[in-house]
Every structure is written in C-alpha cells, then in structure tokens.
Amino acid sequence: MTTIFEGQSENGDQFKRLLDEQNDWPAPFTFKFIVPKRSLDDLLELLDGYRVETRISRKGSYTSVTVSPVMRSSDAVIGLYERVSKIEGLMAL
C-alpha cells in the first residue's frame, strides 16, 4: 500500500506524534487541498458527508478545498491523507 510517508517511517511517526501532542481526540482537524479541475469529483467523493468549502482558481484550472471534520484519532487523520493522496494532481497544504 502506498502512503504519504512511503519510505519515510520516521517522518510518519513524527507526524503522528505531533498530531497526538497537539490534539485531544476526537477533535476538529482542518484539511486543505488544491486539486485540478479534472480530479475535483474524485476528491469530493472521498469527502462525502463532510461540510466542504471550495474556491475555484482565477483561470478555473484548480479548486482549493477546505474541510474541518471532527476526527477520532491521529490514525484517522493520516488515513484520510493516504486516501486522498491517490488522487491525480492533488496537493495537500
């Protein structure tokens, strides 16, 4: 399985540790993404059920997407990042 921290176990562990230090789970967590127009539906499908805010770029080529769901744990946060990382052209901020 490909992950956002593939080949970087130490970085993944550090990110999880920081999430756990800075949050008392469950907690709201803000995700921000920039996605090409062609991949927007794929992202929105993964975020189904969440309140999503979108903003289209000036030329209409990209859309910024912000979502702040209540997450159960750092593993849930990392899991969502891993699922969206499979979307072509997506940038996580």
Note the pLDDT tens digit of each residue in 49-72. Answer: 999 999 999 999 999 999 999 999
Q: Which two tokens stand for residue 23?
A: 């949050």
CB 71 within 8 A of CB 25: yes
Q: In the chain, at which residue ranges do the beta strands (DSSP E only) sit?
A: 27-28, 31-36, 52-56, 62-67, 70-71, 91-92
* Closest residue by Cα to residue 33 from 84, 91, 89: 91
Domains and CATH numbers, the chain: 26-92 (3.30.70.1150)
Confidence tier at 9 by pLDDT (50, 70, 90): low
pLDDT at 11: 64
pLDDT at 31: 97
- C-alpha 91/C-alpha 85 separation (Å) is 8
- pTM confidence score: 0.85
